[in-house]
Amino acid sequence: MTDRLYYDDSYLARFTARVTERLAYESAPAVILDRSAFYPTGGGQPCDMGTLNGIPVIDVIARESDAAVIHVLAEPLDSDQVEAEIDWLRRFDHMQQHTGQHLLTAACVQVAEAKTIGFHLSLDTLTIDLDRPDLPDSTLAEAETLANRIIQEDRAVTARLRDLDDQEGVRMRRLPRHLLTEGLRVVEIDGFDVTACGGTHVARAGAIGLLKIVKTEKHRGKTRLEFLCGGRALRDYQAKHRAIARLAADLDCRYSETPELVAKLRADLKAAQSALKAAREQLVEFEADRLLAGADRARGWALIQAAYENRDAAELKLLASRLTAGPGVIALIGSAGDKCQMVFARSADLPQDMGALLREIATSRGGRGGGQPNFAQGGGMSATLDALSTALSDAAAHL
Ligand SMILES: [Zn+2]
């Protein structure tokens, strides 16, 4: 079994050790050392990274059978003596997040009798799952404030080994078997919490700096809290401050006024959009009346051909519907451009098949489309205004 140096000193980032075994782990070279400060993946937390004699350690795993720590390497290691170095920034980040988790877990119990039933730490997220789905935001804010008070009081955090049966006052959780062979490893935040744990922790709560809950999800009888500690909380504050400061400058208001102002702008936009929609509809009505007045009625029904530029499909459809609402009208309209749009429509009392006609006109020009006998749309090909006019005349000749 590897002597795990981080049990006694979480701050140990460099150490020397001796190789006791060489192996292949998932076809990568790997070694086991007589002693190691590398934390292996486990307990909801990713492993440490670093180097052995300058060779990158790409994964660290605890072997089930004997709890040996397997260091998976980027390339083979020849020497039996190693100078090891842990990626300290990564380790310290994990220490801040993980010790913060002890704090928030204990604070949720103290404030609301809510027990932690899950913990997950990755490179960008830190969550705990509480066994209650009914915690109001104010209660969670109270737990967050309590955790930060312990941080500000800079309480000592100590790890030590107790007798296995000395479990009184210890928050127990599932521990790997090897942790229980030599005794019960506990982590104590002075006067606040004692938890059985084999992880890496800061020495004083003050090193966590700040703890902030950033997201709450309630589902399936539990509450998932996503939170940030230390450097992660600071970076989050910096990013949010930049975003809100820019928003407030753009809106020319104090940052505290931005939510109200944005809500007002959204309401204004909605009102402007519906006013614009009403005005457009009215404009289309006038346009339809004008087109109907000038329609070609040589064949006993009214033929309307109209080619436009820069009109969206919705507006063309609205115009076509309006034109063919009454009896005896066929409307062939479109908008030219890189992706030209065409809408062919006819009144209910006429027999011509607009779907077939549009498909033929569009496909013969490299576009596509189709629809019902009374209403069809399509296009998609590039067409100038002249080319579109020619296409519409071609369609009219097929009628
Ligand atoms: Zn811990």
Whole-model pTM above 0.85?
no
As a whole number, mean pLDDT of residues 357-384 equals: 95
Q: 214: closest CA among 235, 231, 241, 233?
A: 233
Q: Please say whether the beta carbons of 71 and 57 come within 8 A.
A: yes
Instruction: Say if residue 78 is in the same domain as residue 150.
Output: no
Q: Which of 247, 266, 297 is the last residue of a domain?
A: 247
For residue 24 the two structure tokens come to 């292949």
> What distance in angstroms lies between residue 206's CA and the mean position of ligand 1's atoms?
16
- Residue 257 covered by a domain: no
Ligand 1 ion: nearby residues, β-carbon < 5 Å: 197, 199
> What distance in angstroms lies between residue 198's CA and the mean position of ligand 1's atoms?
6
Instruction: Say if residue 97 is in the same domain as residue 176.
Output: yes
Instruction: Say if residue 228 is in the same domain as residue 125.
Output: yes
Instruction: Say if residue 197 is in the same domain as residue 79.
Output: no
- Residue 265 covered by a domain: no
- Residue 268 covered by a domain: no
> What distance in angstroms lies between residue 115's CA and the mean position of ligand 1's atoms?
16
Residue range of the domain that includes 182: 91-247
> What distance in angstroms lies between residue 66's CA and the mean position of ligand 1's atoms?
22
pLDDT in tens, 325-335: 999 999 999 99
- Residue 346 covered by a domain: yes
Beta bridge partners of residue 61, listed in sequence order: 70
- Residue 141 covered by a domain: yes
> What distance in angstroms lies between residue 7's CA and the mean position of ligand 1's atoms?
11
Q: Provide the CATH number for the domain around residue 73.
A: 2.40.30.130
pLDDT band, residue 165 (cuts 50/70/90): confident
> What distance in angstroms lies between residue 15's CA and the mean position of ligand 1's atoms?
22
Q: Which of 68, 86, 104 is the last residue of a domain?
A: 86
> What distance in angstroms lies between residue 351's CA and the mean position of ligand 1's atoms?
79
Percent of the chain, pLDDT > 70?
98
Instruction: Say if residue 234 is in the same domain as residue 368.
Output: no
Between the CA of residue 43 and those of 94, 314, 325, what are the distances in Å? Answer: 12, 56, 69
315's enclosing H/E stretch is helix 313-323
Q: Provide the CATH number for the domain around residue 116.
A: 3.30.980.10
Task: Indicate the pairing of strand 302-309 with strand 329-336.
Answer: parallel
> What distance in angstroms lies between residue 368's CA and the mean position of ligand 1's atoms?
63
> What distance in angstroms lies between residue 226's CA and the mean position of ligand 1's atoms?
17
Instruction: Say if residue 99 is in the same domain as residue 82.
Output: no
- Residue 161 covered by a domain: yes
> What distance in angstroms lies between residue 102's CA and the mean position of ligand 1's atoms?
6
Q: Provide the CATH number for the domain around residue 393.
A: 3.10.310.40
> What distance in angstroms lies between residue 69's CA and the mean position of ligand 1's atoms?
18
As a whole number, mean pLDDT of residues 300-318 equals: 94
Q: Give the residue with greater pLDDT, 238 vs 171.
A: 238
Percent of the chain, pLDDT > 90?
87
Instruction: Say if residue 303 is in the same domain as residue 363.
Output: yes
Q: What are the DSSP E strand ranges found in 205-275?
A: 211-219, 222-229
> What distance in angstroms lies between residue 90's CA and the mean position of ligand 1's atoms?
16
Instruction: Give the chain's domain count.
Output: 3
Task: Indicate the pairing of strand 28-33 with strand 14-25.
Answer: antiparallel
Instruction: Say if residue 131 is in the same domain as residue 205.
Output: yes
Q: Please say whether the beta carbons of 157 and 187 come within 8 A.
A: yes
pLDDT in tens, 184-230: 889 999 999 999 998 999 999 999 999 999 999 998 889 999 999 99
pLDDT in tens, 113-163: 999 999 999 998 999 999 999 899 999 999 999 999 999 999 999 998 887
> What distance in angstroms lies between residue 196's CA and the mean position of ligand 1's atoms?
7
> What distance in angstroms lies between residue 97's CA and the mean position of ligand 1's atoms?
10
> What distance in angstroms lies between residue 101's CA and the mean position of ligand 1's atoms?
8
> What distance in angstroms lies between residue 31's CA and the mean position of ligand 1's atoms?
26
> What distance in angstroms lies between residue 27's CA and the mean position of ligand 1's atoms?
32
pLDDT in tens, 19-55: 999 999 999 999 999 999 999 998 888 999 999 999 9
Instruction: Say if residue 11 is in the same domain as residue 131.
Output: no
> What distance in angstroms lies between residue 108's CA and the mean position of ligand 1's atoms?
16
Q: Which of 247, 277, 306 is the last residue of a domain?
A: 247
Task: Indicate the pairing of strand 50-52 with strand 193-196.
Answer: unpaired
Q: What angle do CA 331, 332, 334 make, to 5 degrees?
A: 125
> What distance in angstroms lies between residue 247's CA and the mean position of ligand 1's atoms?
39
Q: Please say whether the beta carbons of 45 and 201 come within 8 A.
A: no
> What distance in angstroms lies between residue 167's CA and the mean position of ligand 1's atoms?
16
Instruction: Say if residue 110 is in the same domain as residue 174.
Output: yes
Q: Tell me: pLDDT of 177 over 80.
A: no
> What distance in angstroms lies between residue 197's CA and the mean position of ligand 1's atoms?
5
Distance of CA 326 to the CA centre of its chain: 51
- Residue 282 covered by a domain: no
Instruction: Say if residue 15 is in the same domain as residue 116.
Output: no
> What distance in angstroms lies between residue 129's CA and the mean position of ligand 1's atoms?
16
> What distance in angstroms lies between residue 227's CA and the mean position of ligand 1's atoms?
16
> What distance in angstroms lies between residue 201's CA and the mean position of ligand 1's atoms?
6
> What distance in angstroms lies between residue 155's CA and the mean position of ligand 1's atoms?
15
> What distance in angstroms lies between residue 262's CA and the mean position of ligand 1's atoms?
42
As a whole number, mean pLDDT of residues 166-192 equals: 77
Q: 189: closest CA among 212, 167, 207, 213?
A: 207
Instruction: Say if residue 101 is in the same domain as residue 234.
Output: yes
> What distance in angstroms lies between residue 359's CA and the mean position of ligand 1's atoms?
68
